[in-house]
Amino acid sequence: MSRLAHVVDALNQGQVIAYPTEAVFGVGCDPDSAQAVQRLLDLKQRPVEKGLILIAADYEQLANYIDDSALTAEQKAAIFSTWPGPVTWVMPAKPSVPSFLTGQFDTIAVRVSDHPLVQELCRAYGKPITSTSANLTGEPPCRTTLEVREQLGDSVVLLDGDTGGRTNPSEIRDAVSGKLFRQG
């Protein structure tokens, strides 16, 4: 079994994975599994109220989560001008999106990554995965597979690879207002 097939199998079994992104390693899971998301939140010691980012290979993979009709053509043009790439957009969520993904919000944070391994992973999995930095609360985000192993041990299935070399985590912007939440 290839390393990618092994990681996709882990996602299908509700496990938490770690994988390289544009700047740091991320941890993720099946966004449609409450049990998998709870495992991820427990691992990160992250409150559910904060919500999670979804990372995808293309915009179509996000269609089940985004209320696309709430965005204007200009707003979509601004989003598409940054994708694929290291910009996360906070968009109106469909009412069907569970609160374990949106947290206390009626929005969902999403990104179409340009990282080749993320693209390959999401295509092989057939949908987006959750994405939050691979680190324990209070610790710096992991940038290498060794750091992932040191901080998270065997609690994640690791997709070995290199990050995209960016210094900062993804920029986060509001799709409706354009407001910058986190500088990239």
Tell me the three state secondary structure of residue 13: coil
d(CA 88, CA 103): 16
Domain total for the chain?
Answer: 1
Strand partners, 56: 112
Nearest to 131 by CA among 49, 14, 21, 32: 21
Enclosing domain of residue 114:
3-182
Q: What is the residue type of 66?
A: I
* CATH code where residue 148 lies: 3.90.870.10
d(CA 45, CA 87): 25
- Digit-by-digit pLDDT tens for the chain (184 residues) are 688 999 999 999 999 999 999 999 999 999 999 999 999 999 998 899 999 999 999 999 999 999 999 999 999 999 999 999 999 999 999 999 999 999 999 999 999 999 999 999 999 999 999 999 999 888 899 999 999 999 999 999 999 999 998 888 789 999 999 999 888 7
DSSP secondary structure letters along 130-162: EEEESS-TTSPPP-SHHHHHHHHGGGSEE----
d(CA 148, CA 136): 10
